[in-house]
């Protein structure tokens, strides 16, 4: 990530919500960057801060109720300190967002065409009919049959998959350079999910869009991402290329996530290895490592460092960083023990960089840029 200008660069982002019960530290010190034409996945469970992070980037967090700090740069332009008007002029044009629930994100009173055309008219100086024509073309592009007829339909006339396509069409109307997709397929059936993911991939290829994909589904991550950020308790606990995270993860939480996911290509008998306990409350975060209460390995760390000292996010390789007090050698050993044969092949493709299998091109290609 060091070479080449990242299109989106987030540095030390903090979002705090003061509440009656105390300060909710929803996002704490989050840094990541995305280049054009690449996909970054932000993975985490409920309350991990992944959605708040994306909303902060889009300028969708009300500054009267929240405290924001850090830097968010879109193509070099600082957004956190920018005026509301300035951010608004970028939103929908240079950056756009797809939300999880298309029914509550579309206005029930206006036709699809009208809502789409409005998105064009806000940012482009064109006639209404030209805007409508752009809307029609984009509906066609996202695979909606009979767009000239559908343009007159209302959101309730459409199925879930269709609505999600309309949302995507709306997000893509002004060919944004950054697309933030917050659980874009979670509400959809798998066959429709496959259609939508395919569409996102095609559009990315065509327009070189940078995508930030927020999801809890590791299958979708494996399918789409070049780089992955794993969040827990409002912090990044591990960050790396797709192969680092899936084949050489070094953070106990990432191991837990991978061990929790049932795989369709592995049958009965293989037992899941869940993470014990519950995610932490963001009001009363543990003093030391936020994952300490659920971590089965804290006893391997001498003293009570995990209880009293917040670990830093430290690099393992230039593109792979981990927040954990365990010694690197210990982590590698446990990873192989937990992930078995999979972890055995861990280092081969990513460290040699030879990209022997066509598969490794995705992530190593990016490093080479």
Contact residues for another protein (CB under 8 A)?
45-46, 145, 159-162, 189-195, 197-198, 216-223, 225, 242-243, 246-247, 256-268, 270-276, 278-279, 341-342, 357-360, 362
Q: Is residue 369 within 8 Å of 3, Cβ to Cβ?
A: yes
Q: How far is the CB of 167 from another protein (least distance, A)?
A: 16
Contacts of 367 (CB under 8 A, 6+ apart): 241, 318, 319, 353
How far apart are the C-alpha atoms of 154 and 15, rounded to whole Å? 36
DSSP string, 164-193: HHHHHHHHHTT--SEEEEESTTTTS-HHHH
Q: Which CB sits closer to another protein, 272 or 368?
A: 272
User: What is the helix (H) or strand (E) element at residue 313, kind and residue range?
Assistant: strand 313-317
Q: Which CB sits closer to another protein, 126 or 336?
A: 336
CA dihedral 296, 219, 169, 53 (to 10 degrees): 10
Q: How far is the CB of 112 from another protein (least distance, A)?
A: 16
In the sheet that 67-74 helps form, which strands lie side by side, from edge to edge? 22-34, 8-19, 67-74, 77-78
Q: How far is the CB of 183 from another protein (least distance, A)?
A: 13
Q: How far is the CB of 113 from another protein (least distance, A)?
A: 20
CA dihedral 111, 135, 100, 158 (to 10 degrees): 50
Q: Is residue 210 within 8 Å of 153, Cβ to Cβ?
A: no
Q: How far is the CB of 276 from another protein (least distance, A)?
A: 8
Q: Which CB sits closer to another protein, 53 or 174?
A: 53
Q: Is residue 254 within 8 Å of 237, Cβ to Cβ?
A: yes
Q: Which CB sits closer to another protein, 53 or 134?
A: 53
Q: Which CB sits closer to another protein, 176 or 280?
A: 280
Q: Which CB sits closer to another protein, 66 or 214?
A: 214
Q: Which residues pair with 240 in a beta bridge?
A: 228
Q: How far is the CB of 27 from another protein (least distance, A)?
A: 18
Measured from the Cβ of residue 325, the count of other Cβ atoms closer than 10 Å reads 22
Q: Which CB sits closer to another protein, 261 or 308?
A: 261
Report DSSP state, residue 298.
G
Q: How far is the CB of 149 from another protein (least distance, A)?
A: 15
Q: How far is the CB of 277 from another protein (least distance, A)?
A: 9
Q: Which CB sits closer to another protein, 329 or 341?
A: 341
How far apart are the C-alpha atoms of 278 and 33, rounded to whole Å? 30
C-alpha distances (whole Å) from 201 to each of 185, 211, 252, 302, 365 are 14, 10, 31, 46, 17
């Amino acid at each position: 990530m060091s070479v080449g200008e990242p299109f989106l660069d987030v540095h030390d982002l903090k979002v705090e919500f003061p509440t009656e019960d105390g300060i909710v530290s929803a996002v704490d010190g989050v840094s990541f960057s995305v280049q054009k034409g690449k996909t970054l996945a932000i993975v985490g469970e409920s309350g991990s801060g992944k959605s708040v992070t994306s909303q902060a980037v889009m300028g969708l967090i009300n500054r009267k109720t929240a405290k924001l700090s850090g830097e968010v740069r879109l193509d070099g332009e600082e957004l956190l300190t920018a005026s509301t008007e300035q951010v608004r002029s970028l939103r929908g044009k240079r950056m756009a967002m797809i939300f999880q629930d298309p029914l509550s994100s579309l206005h029930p009173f206006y036709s699809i065409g009208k809502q789409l055309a409005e998105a064009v008219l806000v940012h482009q100086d064109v006639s209404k009919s030209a805007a409508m024509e752009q809307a029609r073309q984009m509906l066609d592009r996202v695979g909606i049959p009979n767009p000239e007829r559908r343009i007159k339909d209302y959101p309730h006339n459409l199925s879930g998959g269709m609505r999600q396509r309309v949302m995507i069409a709306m997000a893509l109307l002004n060919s944004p350079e950054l697309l933030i997709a917050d659980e874009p397929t979670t509400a959809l059936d798998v066959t429709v999910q496959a259609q939508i993911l395919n569409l996102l991939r095609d559009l990315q290829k065509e327009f070189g869009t940078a995508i930030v994909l927020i999801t809890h589904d590791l299958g979708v991550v494996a399918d789409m991402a070049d780089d992955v950020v794993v969040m827990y308790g409002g912090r990044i606990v591990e960050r790396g290329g797709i192969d680092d995270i899936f084949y050489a993860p070094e953070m106990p939480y990432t191991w837990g996530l991978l061990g929790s996911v049932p795989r369709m290509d592995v049958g009965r008998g293989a037992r899941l290895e869940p993470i014990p306990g519950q995610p932490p409350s963001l009001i009363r975060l543990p003093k030391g490592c936020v994952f300490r209460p659920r971590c089965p390995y804290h006893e391997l760390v001498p003293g009570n460092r995990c209880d009293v000292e917040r670990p830093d996010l430290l690099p393992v390789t230039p593109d792979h960083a981990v927040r954990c007090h365990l010694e690197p050698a210990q982590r590698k050993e446990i990873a192989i023990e937990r992930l078995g044969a999979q972890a055995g092949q861990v280092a081969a493709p990513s460290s040699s960089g030879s990209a022997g299998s066509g598969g490794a091109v995705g992530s190593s290609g990016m490093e080479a840029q």
